Amino acid sequence: MSGGEPRPVSVLLVDSPDETRKRLRAALERVAGLSIIGEAHSHASGMRMFFERRPDVVVVGVCLDDSSGFDVLVSVRQADSRCPLLLLGEAQDNFVEYVGRLYGANEVCYRDANFYQIRAALERLISQRRQPAQVG
């Protein structure tokens, strides 16, 4: 990597079930500038990885093995108010979007959307993450 290139954006996936997470990971690995640094299937394992690895972005599914993705949103937001969060719902649902944003999601996408929408949401989050914090 040359001095002018930014380092890859680290992404933590917190989602269940395994097969869904594998497909998402495979799709995200094709996005230039991203590095998947971990996968978790539960709130507990997701938060453990979050604190150990400090990802730049967290992608969270609504349904997890031990709770809901909303719990992860709240926990991450309490730990790092600036960490970009992408919530993945199962299908277009205004309630999921409303609650997701209420609990801290910066972006909400749905699995029934095409991958380009998820990629565009991630690119917006990456862009926001790379901007310096506003003072005042």
Reported as a single tens digit per residue, the pLDDT across 87-136 is 999 888 899 999 999 999 999 998 877 778 888 888 888 887 666 555 44
Among 21-35, 47-61, 99-113, 122-136, name the most confident range.
Answer: 47-61
Domain residue limits, the chain: 9-129
β-bridge mates for residue 127, sequence order:
none
The C-alpha atoms of residue 131 and residue 136 are separated, in whole angstroms, by 15
Mean pLDDT score, 70-86? 96
Sequence-distant (6+) residues with CB within 8 A of 12 are 36, 37, 38, 39, 40, 46, 49, 50, 53, 55, 57, 58, 59
State whether CATH 3.40.50.2300 applies to domain 9-129. Answer: yes
Q: What is the pLDDT of residue 132?
A: 57
- Looking at residue 114, its pLDDT comes to 73
Return all residues near 100 (Cβ < 8 A) that are at least 6 apart.
62, 69, 70, 73, 87, 89, 108
Residue 73 CB-half CA count within 13 A: 24
